[in-house]
Amino acid sequence: MGSSNFFFPTGARRETNAKPSSSALRGEYLDLPIGIILDVNRSPHGYILAYLWFYGAPATLTAASRSGQGRIAYVNNSFEIGPVQVGGGRLFLIAGPCVIESEAHVRTMAEAIQRITADLGIPYIFKASYDKANRTSVKSYRGPGLVEGTRILGRLAKDTGLPVLTDVHEPGHCEVAAEAVDVLQIPAFLCRQTDLLVAAGKTGRAVNIKKGQFLAPWDMTHPVEKVRSTGNERVFLTERGASFGYNTLVVDYRALPVMRAMAPVVFDGTHSVQQPSAANGVSGGQPEFIPILVKAAVAAGIDGLFLEVHNDPANAKSDGANALDLKLLKPLLERLLAIHAAVGGA
């Protein structure tokens, strides 16, 4: 098998003397079929039989190339959020400050990022939170709240024409937020909360589920199914790092193709450099590593990019330690577009 073949053998190995039939792989029998391998049987004759499961999502198995290089089969589940095509092969951006600091500030940020993305031809969704309910300290700034925050975001969407994303922490917030924004985001800490996922799905708005720092990527099939159980197919996933000991996150890039077998995938390059609760009551961060992580993610293959951007990170009211400085956004996006083009829109 070629070294680039990709699989996750999580089941027990079992020996068999039988040559695997082609029907076991829907007509495909070769070194590695396309997909995520959950169990591998190797016979004394050297045959390999792979059982594949695509997390309840449609996928087509096709032969690996004659060179023996396998690749992941991605779900064809593209959809639109206003003018932004999600999963259509064109890299899009979700960006903005962590939290609404003031109406004037979110407008300044939205318009500045909108000018940059318009110049570069990148589809853009603005993001900001009306309530950061999971701050480390009870003393930390949370935002203007549901009523005032959704008013600000709704007005911003109307005035700029931008699609807008915000996160929801309670099922009862979903309908109210959905009246103002285009995308409801499920925070990573809450990505298994059934009532919240179902309430978000029932609004009909697109739903972005951030992968929990505590979850394996293949376990994200269940949150996706919870949203889709409402009849809402407009769901995508965001990778934002995995817990690695205390106060530290790491990125396992294998998670990107694994989750792309379920739904379109976005990479969060700013929360991935976060150091949770590591700075005396607030989270720290290592923003100098943002460019490295996002370039690797684009090369590996993603549908969109998520960045928290601030014009003065040192004085941001939330997550300034891991935010990207606004002045660095355009040159970074230019490099990412070049990588995306070089890999053929992976």
Q: What is the pLDDT of residues 86-129, one digit of tens each?
A: 998 999 999 999 999 999 999 999 999 999 999 999 999 999 99
CB 247 within 8 Å of CB 276: yes
Partnered with residue 305 across adjacent β-strands are: 93, 267
Q: How much is the pLDDT for 285? A: 77
Element (H, E) at 37: strand 37-42
Length of the chain: 346
Residue type, 326: L
Average pLDDT (164-187) is 98
Cross-strand partners of 238: 210, 266
Two structure tokens written together for 134: 């999971």
Tokens in use for 96?
Answer: 């903005």
**CA pair distance 97, 319, nearest whole angstrom:** 9
At the top level of CATH, which class does the domain 79-342 belong to?
alpha beta
Band (275; pLDDT cuts 50, 70, 90): confident
User: Distance between CA 57 and CA 50 in Å, rounded?
Assistant: 18
What's the whole-model pTM score? 0.79
Instruction: Give the pair of three-digit tokens for residue 32.
Output: 């590695």
CATH 3.20.20.70 location in the chain: 79-342
DSSP SS3 for 129: strand
Q: Tell me what pLDDT residue 19 has.
A: 37
pLDDT tens, residue by residue, 316-341: 898 788 899 999 999 999 999 999 99
Planar angle of CA 215, 230, 158, nearest 5 degrees: 90
